[in-house]
Amino acid sequence: MATPKIFESEYRFMQILWEHEPVNSTELVRLCKEGLGWSKATTYTVIRRLTERGAVVNENTMVRSLVAQEDVQEAEIDELVERTFGGSLPQFIAAFTRRKKLGEAEIAMLHQMIDEHKEA
C-alpha cells in the first residue's frame, strides 16, 4: 500500500499523534490546541481527512496512526526529488550540499550508507 500524502499542517498533527499514540481524541484536541493553536473543529477535521486517506484510525475515540513517521518522510523525499530534480538523487545531494556544509561525521555516515547500499 502506498503511503498517503500528508501535507505540512497534517504532518505537524501527525508528529503529536506519533508521540502520544494511541491517544483519546479529547486529549488529542487538547494537545493540538497547546501545540498548534488549533480549535476542536480543526483537529476533528484533520482526523477525518487523515482517516479518509488511510493515515489514521479513530476507534471508540482512540486515535492512532496507520503509517510510520519514517514512511511519510521517505514518501515526501521521493516526491521532492522526483518533482524538483527529475528523480536524480545526485542532483538533490549536490543542491543540498551547496547550501549546507557537511561535517566529517555526516560525510562518514553518507559513505557508510553508500557502502551498505552497494552490498545489498
Q: What is the domain partition of the chain in residue ranges?
A: 8-69, 88-120
pLDDT in tens, 72-88: 999 999 999 999 999 99
Q: Quickly count: other Cβ atoms within 10 Å of residue 56's Cβ.
A: 24
Q: Which three cell numbers stand for residue 51?
A: 482517516
Average pLDDT of the residues in 4-22: 97
- Cell numbers linked to 20: 502520544
Predicted pLDDT at 118? 87
Q: How far apart are CA 92 and CA 115, in angstroms?
A: 19
Q: How confident is the model at residue 19, as a pLDDT?
A: 98
pLDDT of residue 41: 98
Q: Is 71 exposed, middle or buried (0-12, 13-18, 19+ CB in 10 A)?
A: middle
Model confidence at 120: pLDDT above 80:
no
From the candidate CATH numbers 3.40.50.720, 3.40.50.300, 1.10.10.10, 3.30.70.370, the one assigned to the domain spanning 8-69: 1.10.10.10
CA proximity to 47, closest of 72, 71, 21, 65: 65
Q: What whole-number distance in Å separates Cα of residue 100 and Cα of residue 3?
A: 29
Percent with pLDDT over 90 in the chain: 88
Rounded Cα distance, 116 and 119, in Å: 5
Among the listed ranges 19-23, 64-68, 114-118, which one has the minimum average pLDDT value? 114-118
On the question of pLDDT at 99 being above 90, the answer is no
Closest CA to 10 of 67, 37, 41, 49: 49
